Amino acid sequence: MSILLNNHGYDNASWAEILGELLPEQPLYIYNQLDNETLDAIASEIEYAVIWNHPAGDLQRYPNLKGILLLGAGTEHIDQDNSVPDLPIVRLIDPEVLNDMALYTLYWVMDLHRQFSVYRQQQQQGLWQRHDIGQPRDFRVTVLGLGAVGKTVAQRLHNNGFTAQGWDRYPQQIDGISCYEGDEQLATALAETDVLVNCLPLTAGTRHFINDTRLQQLPEGAALINISRGEVIDDQALLKALDCQHVSRAVLDAFAIEPLPEQSPYWQHPQVDITPHMSGATYARSAARLIADNIRRIENGEAPFPLHQHPSRIAAAS
């Protein structure tokens, strides 16, 4: 009974170390340290794949696989692989990551509300000038997508005095927070927005969801924060909205291509703040315990959580 680990593009060593401590009885193999011959030789041993952005088709190699545990909350990589075995797929929802993302959003909402970017510019000019602002309760922040991330973000903003509201395709309820639902209520939510926070997952239905039409439904001067996936935003539409000042500022933590190419106009745009996809880093020190607990649940015949339903299975069921 062995684990295959592949945190593609990120750190494997810390995960291997901590998972080894939590599950000492289970041998662990790091995918990118093995050649195809070795992988074929150990294929029958592998019962759990702990992965991120794993090569499409490879999971078919392991005949005794019992579970697929993702090293992140996003599922776009595995959703694109139609050869994934019909096994439990478990997303990684780490409360520490949710807290980080909520704090990141709160920081930038405060920055936008208090106009700190203006004061930073004034410092460079040696200019002493105050600017009037409204109360936090009059500053409207709309969170797109009310999954685990969106709900945590909205609650943190609400608890700090901002008027947080949310939108999701399906009905949601959050104490003290207005929740809009469905396509018919999206325009209303956007029209009542000072800052739009993207927490939508990347799916076939959300690619370029934030497009020219929806950006134009925001009030003039609204701002955008993206802590989800870059491809949810139509980059050309956003740049157009920024250039004509309809969108006053964009805080972007995720991009369609990462690392962000040197030639991207976002780098030098005066109304754009960039961070390198760090709003909610996944830490092995906390998240590995969630992985280990879910492996134990599967071993004990219990359902792991949170389970993800692969699009191919949804299509088959319908």
Q: What is the CATH number of the domain that holds 222?
A: 3.40.50.720
Q: Which residues contact 26 (CB under 8 A, 6 or more apart)?
A: 1, 2, 3, 48, 295
**Domain residue limits at 231:** 95-274
Which carries the bigger pLDDT value, residue 79 or residue 315? 79
Q: Which residue pairs, CB below 8 angstroms and at least 24 apart, start in 289-294?
A: 289/18, 289/22, 290/92, 290/93, 290/94, 291/19, 291/50, 291/69, 291/71, 291/92, 292/19, 292/22, 292/23, 294/67, 294/69, 294/90
Q: How many CA atoms, within 13 angstroms, populate the side-chain half-sphere of residue 213?
A: 4
| Nearest Cα residue to 138 out of 195, 216, 215, 214 | 195
Tell whether 254 and 113 lie within a shared domain. yes
Residue 318 — pLDDT band, cuts 50, 70, 90?
A: low
Residue 257 and residue 260: Cα distance in Å, rounded?
A: 6
Set 169, 277, 289, 308: catalytic member: 277
Query: Is the pLDDT assigned to residue 1 strictly greater than 80?
Result: no
Read off the pLDDT of each residue in 36-42 and give the average, rounded to a whole number: 97
Residue 314 — pLDDT band, cuts 50, 70, 90?
A: confident
Question: What are the backbone dihedrals phi and psi of residue 172, each rounded to the nearest 5 degrees, phi first?
Answer: -135, 155
Tell whether 295 and 205 lie within a shared domain. no
Tell whether 60 and 169 lie within a shared domain. no
Which carries the bigger pLDDT value, residue 316 or residue 127? 127
Tell whether 265 and 301 lie within a shared domain. no
For residue 301, give the DSSP letter: T
- What the block records as the tokens of 243 is 């250039």
Residue 231 and residue 92: Cα distance in Å, rounded?
A: 21
For residue 136, give the DSSP letter: G
Confidence at residue 196, expressed as pLDDT on a 0 to 100 scale: 99
Confidence at residue 45, expressed as pLDDT on a 0 to 100 scale: 98
Cβ neighbourhood burial of 135 (10 Å; 0-12, 13-18, 19+):
exposed
C-beta of residue 302 within 8 angstroms of C-beta of residue 279: no
Residue 185 — pLDDT band, cuts 50, 70, 90?
A: very high
Edge-to-edge order in the sheet of strand 272-274: 178-181, 163-168, 140-144, 195-198, 222-226, 247-252, 272-274
Is 277 part of the annotated catalytic residue set? yes
Q: In this prediction, what percent of the chain has a pLDDT beyond 70?
A: 99
- Taking the model in full, what pTM does it have? 0.93
Read off the pLDDT of each residue in 11-25 and give the average, rounded to a whole number: 96
pLDDT, tens digit, for every residue of 219-231?
A: 999 999 999 999 9
Query: Is the pLDDT assigned to residue 315 strictly greater than 90?
Result: no
Confidence at residue 105, expressed as pLDDT on a 0 to 100 scale: 98
Tell whether 211 and 173 lie within a shared domain. yes
CA angle 153, 155, 158 (to 5 degrees): 110
Read off the pLDDT of each residue in 278-284 and give the average, rounded to a whole number: 91
Residue whose token pair is 């001067």 = 221
Cβ neighbourhood burial of 184 (10 Å; 0-12, 13-18, 19+):
exposed
For residue 201, give the DSSP letter: P
Confidence at residue 245, expressed as pLDDT on a 0 to 100 scale: 97
Tell whether 103 and 65 lie within a shared domain. no
Set 54, 229, 249, 310: catalytic member: 229
Tell whether 287 and 249 lie within a shared domain. no
Confidence at residue 276, expressed as pLDDT on a 0 to 100 scale: 97
Tell whether 295 and 214 lie within a shared domain. no
Confidence at residue 175, expressed as pLDDT on a 0 to 100 scale: 95
Query: Is the pLDDT assigned to residue 272 strictly greater than 70?
Result: yes
Confidence at residue 317, expressed as pLDDT on a 0 to 100 scale: 67
pLDDT averaged over the chain?
96
CA angle 147, 273, 236 (to 5 degrees): 80
Tell whether 88 and 99 lie within a shared domain. no
- Tell me which amino acid residue 158 is: H
Tell whether 26 and 44 lie within a shared domain. yes
Confidence at residue 78, expressed as pLDDT on a 0 to 100 scale: 96
Confidence at residue 160, expressed as pLDDT on a 0 to 100 scale: 98
Tell whether 220 and 103 lie within a shared domain. yes
Tell whether 105 and 246 lie within a shared domain. yes
Confidence at residue 277, expressed as pLDDT on a 0 to 100 scale: 95
pLDDT, tens digit, for every residue of 81-137?
A: 999 999 999 999 999 999 999 999 999 999 999 999 999 999 999 999 999 999 999
> What CA–CA distances, in Å, run from 304 to 60, 67, 90, 252?
21, 9, 7, 33
Q: How many domains does the chain have?
A: 2
